[in-house]
Amino acid sequence: MTPIASYLDLANHHANSTHSDIKKVCLLTLKHKFNSVFVNPYYVSFAHQLLNNQAKIGTVVSFPLGQDTLDIKLAATKHALTAGADELDISLNVGLLKQAKWDQALDEMKALVSTIKEKSQTKIAKFILETGHLTDSEITKTSQLILESEADFIKTNSGMGPRGAIIKDVEVIKQAIGNQIKIKVAGGIHTYNQAIAFIKAGASRIGTSRAVQIVNQSNSSVSG
């Protein structure tokens, strides 16, 4: 089986994060070989200098509310890419989704994906649904739009919404778009057993602040 660490994005999105905290998660990412370290935009440049291309850096855009204007989202995206971000998790404007303003939502997504891919085709674009605010039919429609936008991932939750990821989220997304796009889950995933359940359901990536604990539980499971 693929090592669990390769599925994990170690995240620190705390409002009180310090340079010392960010250095710690960067070093842990190197130690455990996580897929990437995720930090707030302010710390992308610092993490890039620390890691020196030894690990991927992720950050967030319009997080967690998603209701910045498009020009602000585009500016933030460009700044993050210039600072050294490899992966961008972008919060969608859920208000557009709730009002069924599908064309406006899609236009916004396409503009953001285009900006990211113009920088480099290897940069990863993810859009955050915030499934706790959406009905199953809204999740289905939005997933189809994200696929159409040519983003790399659908991300279920910010971890700061009304709830975290649940298995049903992945099932609804998979039913909507099959295996045509990857799925990242986040919010409340603290244990190895939870992580494995999401991977079995179809998740390709897990965002969590508890990545070290998950890996340690994985090692205990193997040794046991």
Catalytic residue among 9, 89, 152, 169: 89
To the question of domain 4-207 being in CATH 3.30.1490.20, the answer is no
pLDDT per position as a tens digit, 149-169: 999 999 999 999 999 999 999
Which residues share a beta bridge with 58?
A: 38, 87
- Reply yes or no on whether the pLDDT at 173 is more than 80: yes
pLDDT the model gives residue 147: 98
Q: 95: which 2 tokens?
A: 């208000």
For the question of residue 184 being annotated catalytic, the response is: yes
Crossing angle (nearest 10°) for helices 44-51 and 19-32: 40
| Structure tokens belonging to residue 57 | 């850096």
The per-residue pLDDT of the chain, averaged, comes to 97
pLDDT (0 to 100) of residue 219: 86
In tens, the pLDDT along 194-207 reads 999 999 999 999 99
pLDDT at 38: 98
pLDDT of residue 102: 98
- What angle is formed at CA 154 by the lines to CA 208 and CA 99, rounded to 5 degrees? 115
pLDDT reading at 185 higher than 80: yes
Active-site residue, from 56, 73, 126, 155: 155
Task: Look at residues 222, 189, 185, 220 and name the one whose alpha carbon lies nearest to residue 202.
Answer: 185
Model pLDDT for residues 24-50, shown as the tens digit of each residue: 999 999 999 999 999 999 999 999 999
pLDDT of residue 224 exceeding 80 = no
Q: Is the pLDDT of residue 145 over 80?
A: yes
pLDDT digits (tens, 9 = 90+) for 37-87: 999 999 999 999 999 999 999 999 999 999 999 999 999 999 999 999 999
145 contacts 96 by C-beta, under 8 angstroms: no
Which residue from 82, 81, 99 is spatially nearest to 90, judged by alpha carbons? Answer: 81
Given this model, what pLDDT does residue 113 score?
98
Active site residue 89: yes
Q: Where are the domains of the chain?
A: 4-207
Indicate if the pLDDT at residue 131 is higher than 60: yes
What's residue 1's pLDDT? 61
Angle of helix 44-51 relative to helix 70-83, nearest 10 degrees, comes to: 20
Handedness of CA 72, 68, 39, 126 (dihedral sign): negative
Is the pLDDT reported for residue 222 higher than 80?
no
